[in-house]
Structure formats: C-alpha cells, structure tokens
C-alpha cells in the first residue's frame, strides 16, 4: 500500500526506533506486544534481532532501526515488538522497536526523500519527521 501513492490517507502507528520515528500502516500491523525474549539466530543478517516464541509459534524479529537505516541510537532493549505482515507474501514477522506512539492519519503519497531500507520516504506528522515503512518491500529493497 505505501508503495502505491495515490491510494489516499491511511492510518498508521508511530513507532520509535532509536532516535527515528517510523509510521507502520495499520493494514500491515497485526499486534503490538511488550518485549519478547529474543534468542540468537547465528549467521543471520544484521537486520535480524533474533528469534522469539509468541503463544507457541516461532517469530523472526527484525531490528526496526536497522531496517529503516536509522542512525544508531542508544543500545536498545526493545521494549516493544510489533507483529506485522511483510514481503510480497505478507508473511508474519516481528519488528523490535523502542516505543509505540500514537495512531495517526497520513497520506503516503506525500512521503518524499530518499528511500532507506524499507522506508519509502519521510513525511511530517505534527512536529515530527517520520519514515514511512513499506513492509511490502521487504526482501526486494535495493
């Protein structure tokens, strides 16, 4: 959806990753969980925070800060996990974040600037500049 500008305003959850605020479209959001215990995934890419167990199911958890190529903030302990649908097949993954904020209405078509990782651009939300997260791009970002 965020890759298809022109669909009009959409609701998104603001989430902080390090010093960067991101907007996760609610269409992609499944659940917001408190911190989950992360287990290592040896040999995985740097964007992967680890593996978790959520209600008896395995969940691969990615580091949102790295996913949107945000400047590194303070060492994170990931107090929030966002369970989302990602990739072309809308598979369930987790995003480790530092804070979940408000739900806002924004227009993806107004996102501008350089694409960074799965961030499709930036747009102003109130007095914040947020990175619009386009999870459909995961696995195909360049």
Among residues 127 and 142, whose Cβ is nearest to other proteins? 142
If one asks whether residue 92 binds other proteins (CB under 8 A), the answer comes out as yes
Tell me the two tokens of residue 101. Answer: 């904020």
If one asks whether residue 51 binds other proteins (CB under 8 A), the answer comes out as yes
Please count the CA atoms within 13 angstroms of the CA of 89 that sit on its side-chain side: 4
* Pairwise CA distance, residues 109 & 86, whole Å: 20
For the chain, how many helices (H) and strands (E)? 1, 10
Question: Distance of alpha carbon 23 from its chain centroid, rounded?
Answer: 7
If one asks whether residue 40 binds other proteins (CB under 8 A), the answer comes out as yes
Among residues 8 and 56, whose Cβ is nearest to other proteins? 56
Among residues 51 and 104, whose Cβ is nearest to other proteins? 51
Instruction: Out of 1, 60, 76, 109, name the contact with other proteins by CB under 8 A.
Output: 60
* Pairwise CA distance, residues 98 & 81, whole Å: 8
Least CB distance from residue 45 to other proteins, whole Å? Answer: 6
Instruction: Out of 52, 64, 106, 120, name the contact with other proteins by CB under 8 A.
Output: 52
Q: In 6-98, which ranges are continuous DSSP H helix?
A: 64-67
Which residues make up the interface to other proteins (CB under 8 A)?
39-45, 48, 51-53, 56-60, 62, 86-89, 91-93, 138-140
């Amino acid at each position: 959806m965020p890759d298809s500008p022109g669909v009009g305003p959409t609701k998104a959850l603001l989430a902080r990753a390090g010093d960067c605020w991101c907007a996760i479209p609610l269409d992609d959001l499944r659940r917001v969980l408190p911190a989950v215990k992360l287990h290592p995934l040896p040999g995985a890419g740097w964007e992967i925070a680890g593996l978790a167990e959520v209600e008896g199911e395995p969940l691969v958890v990615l580091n949102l800060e790295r996913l949107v190529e945000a400047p590194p903030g303070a060492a994170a302990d990931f107090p929030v996990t966002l369970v989302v649908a990602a990739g072309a097949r809308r598979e369930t993954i987790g995003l480790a974040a530092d804070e979940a904020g408000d739900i806002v209405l924004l227009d993806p078509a107004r996102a501008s600037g350089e694409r960074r990782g799965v961030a499709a651009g930036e747009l102003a939300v109130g007095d914040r500049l947020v990175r619009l997260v386009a999870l459909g791009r995961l696995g195909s970002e360049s």
